[in-house]
Structure 1
Amino acid sequence: MKLLLLWVVVVLAGCAGREPEVRTVRVEVPVPVLCKTQEVAVPPWAAADLKKSDDLELKVRALLAERRQRIGYERELVAAVGACL
């Protein structure tokens, strides 16, 4: 028993005699940054001025034009969001 106690004391003394190891560790952490892009303007929609009395051809043309406007507007929004990533 005394031998075991002596061994523990010697081991602990050996650990206490060492200088602490000083290390510099580089940790990369993502930092949020404000995104600075121009605001995407909402286009004047082609079908916004349609009246109930307008003929069917005019309504269909306006809706097709508005669809193309929407596709272009969505592409601008996606580009603006992509610039922030």
Structure 2
Amino acid sequence: MMVALCFVLAGCGTREPEVRTVRVEVPVLVPCKTQEVAVPPWATASLKKSDSVELKVRALLAERRQRIGYERELVAASGACR
């Protein structure tokens, strides 16, 4: 029995090791490079207390449109990184 075990172990020791190249694909984090979204000059920034109500309402409506556009640019910039 001991002799058979020696032959088995000797047979494993004479075999050359098999060399293989294995390719492993691993996801790597890449920094997101987008242009910074510029804050627009808001329409209500230059309003005064003495301005008419009509002028203030028009400026508020214009600023609302500016804000919507600005938010869309921010969403597009953050979506480009996905």
Q: If the length of structure 2 is used for normalisation, what is the TM-score?
A: 0.66
**Structure 1 residue 43 displacement after superposition:** 0.9
Alignment of 1:1-85 (within 5 A): 3=1, 5-29=2-26, 30-33=28-31, 35=33, 37-85=34-82
What is the alpha-carbon distance in structure 1 between the residues aligned to residue 7 and residue 54 of structure 2?
Answer: 98
What is the alpha-carbon distance in structure 1 between the residues aligned to residue 6 and residue 71 of structure 2?
Answer: 73
Q: Percent identity, aligned pairs only?
A: 74
Using a 3 Å threshold, how does the CA distance of structure 1 residues 45 and 8 change in structure 2: closer, same or farther? farther
Q: 1:42-67: CA deviations, max 9, x gaps?
A: 21111111223333333232222112
Larger mean Cα displacement after TM superposition, 16-25 or 6-15: 6-15
Unaligned 5+ residue runs, structure 1?
none
- Number of equivalences: 81
What is the alpha-carbon distance in structure 2 between the residues aligned to residue 7 and residue 67 of structure 1?
Answer: 89
